[in-house]
Amino acid sequence: MANWNMLTLVGEDRPGIVARVTEALYRAGWNLGEASMMRLGGNFTIMLMVSGEATRSDLEEVVQPVAQSLGLQLHVDSIEGGLHRHMVPNIQVRVSGADRAGIVAKVTGALASTGFNILELESDVAGSAQQPVYIMCIQGYAETTVEALEEAVGSIGEEGVQVSVSPIETLIG
Amino acid sequence: MALLEILTVPDPRLKDASVAVERFDQELRSFIADLEETRQAGPGAVGIAAPQVGRFQRIAIVDVSKTRKPVANHGHLVLVNPEITHWDGFELGREGCLSVPHYTGNVIRAERIRLRAQDAQGEVREFEMEGFEARAVQHEVDHLDGLLFIDRVVSRRTDLFQRKVYQKGGGGKG
Ligand SMILES: [Zn+2]
C-alpha cells in the first residue's frame, strides 16, 4: 500500500511551475492524487497529494532541486488518509460588505456553534483601495436546517455586512 | 422487476451515442420499470438514462419532485426520444452521477429549456422547464449523446458572464 504525502509549494508565480514539478514527480515514479493550485496575492500556491513506495525524504530530494531553481518554498508532510473521502456540501454561505476586522472569525464561529463543517472557503477583497469590499464564499455540510443557520449568523449584525445562507442541491443523475 | 447494473467510468460504452426508440411495446415498459427501480436504488438520484445500464436507446427518467427544498417540477417523467428544442440563460450548479462515483463538480447548464419527448406509450409531450429540473434533463440527454458531466466541469471561480453560448458537446468555450 502506497503512502500519501502532502506537498506544499509557495512562491512567486510564473508560467510553467506545475509542469516542471509534476514532470519531476512523474520521472521519479510518484503518483498524484487530489490537488489544488491557487494564485493568492500574486503568489503561486499549490497543495498536492503525492503517493509512492519511497519515503518522504526521497520525495523531498526529488522536488527540492526543482523548487530551488524556481525560487519556491517546499514543505512535505506524510499524511493519513487517501482518495474518495469527499463530503458533498449541502449549504452555501456568502458574506459580503465592508471589510470589518474579525468578520471571518465571527461568521465561522457562529457556523461552528451549529456543528457546520466547512469544506471549501474562498475569500477576496474587491472594490477599490479606498473602499474595499470583502467577499467570502463558504461551502459546507450541515445536519441542521437553513433556518437554524440563518438564526446563528443573523445575530452577527455587523453594519454594512450581508450574510446569506442557501441550500446547495447536488444533482445526481 | 430487476435492479440493473450501472456502468461506471472508465467504461468506454458511456461515450457511445444512443439510438431512437421505435417500438413502444410491453418490453419497453418493463425495461422502464427496471430503470426506475435502479434509479431509486441509487442514493438520491433524480435521474437516470438507459445507456447508464448498457441499453443504448434514447430513454431517460427524471423526477425532481422530492428535493430537500422544493423546486419547480413536472413530477415523475419518462422521457423517450427527448429533444431539447430551446435553451435560455446560464446557471452554475453542482452535479454528480451514478456512473461517476466519488466525484462532484460544477457544471454550467441552460437555466430554462423547452423539451419535446414521448412517454412510455409513444405520446408526444412538450414541456417548459427551469432550474434544477432543466438541469436534470440536460444531464440525462447528455448521457444519450455519450457525454458525461465530467466533460463539462468548470472551476468554481468560473465567470458565467464570459460565456455567451451554451455549447452542445461540452467545452463551453464561450
Ligand atoms: Zn449521470
Cβ distance of B135 and A88 shorter than 8 Å: no
B98 touching A (Cβ < 8 Å): yes
Say whether residue A92 is in contact with chain B using an 8 A CB cutoff.
no
Report field, pTM of the whole predicted structure over 0.90: no
Length of chain B: 174
Contacts of B68 in chain A (CB under 8 A): 90, 167, 169
Query: What residues of B are in contact with residue A88 (Cβ under 8 Å)?
Result: 94, 96, 104
Q: What are phi and psi of A171, to 5 degrees?
A: -85, 120
Residue A156 exposed, middle or buried by CB count within 10 Å (0-12, 13-18, 19+): middle
Please state which architecture CATH assigns to domain A91-167: 2-Layer Sandwich (3.30)
Which domains are assigned to chain B? 12-162 (3.90.45.10)
What does each of the 173 residues of chain A score in pLDDT, given as a tens digit? 578 999 999 999 999 999 999 999 999 999 999 999 999 999 999 999 999 999 999 999 999 999 999 999 999 999 988 888 888 899 999 999 887 778 889 999 999 999 999 999 999 888 888 888 899 999 999 999 999 999 999 878 677 889 999 999 999 99
Note whether B50 contacts A: Cβ–Cβ < 8 A. no
B76 Cβ under 8 Å from any chain A Cβ: no
Three-state DSSP state, A104: helix
ipTM of the complex: 0.87
Q: Which residue has the cell 458565467?
A: B160
Mean pLDDT of the region B148-172 = 64
Active site residue B22: no
Within 8 A by CB and 6+ apart from A85, the residues are: none
pLDDT tens track for B71-105: 999 999 999 999 999 999 999 999 999 999 999 99
Q: A3-79 with A91-167: one CATH topology?
A: yes
Residues B133-148 have pLDDT tens digits of: 999 999 999 999 999 9
> What residue ranges do the domains of chain A occupy?
3-79, 91-167
Tell me the CA–centroid distance for residue B38 and ligand 1, in Å: 13
**Cα dihedral sign, A68-A69-A72-A77:** negative
Interchain contact, A122 vs B157, CB within 8 Å: yes
From the list B50, B46, B51, B163, the residue with the least C-alpha distance to B110 is B163
- Across the interface, do A171 and B46 touch by the CB < 8 Å criterion? yes
Looking at domain A3-79, its CATH class is alpha beta
The answer to whether B67 and B132 are in contact (CB under 8 A) is yes
Give the chain A residue nearest B64 (alpha carbons).
A171
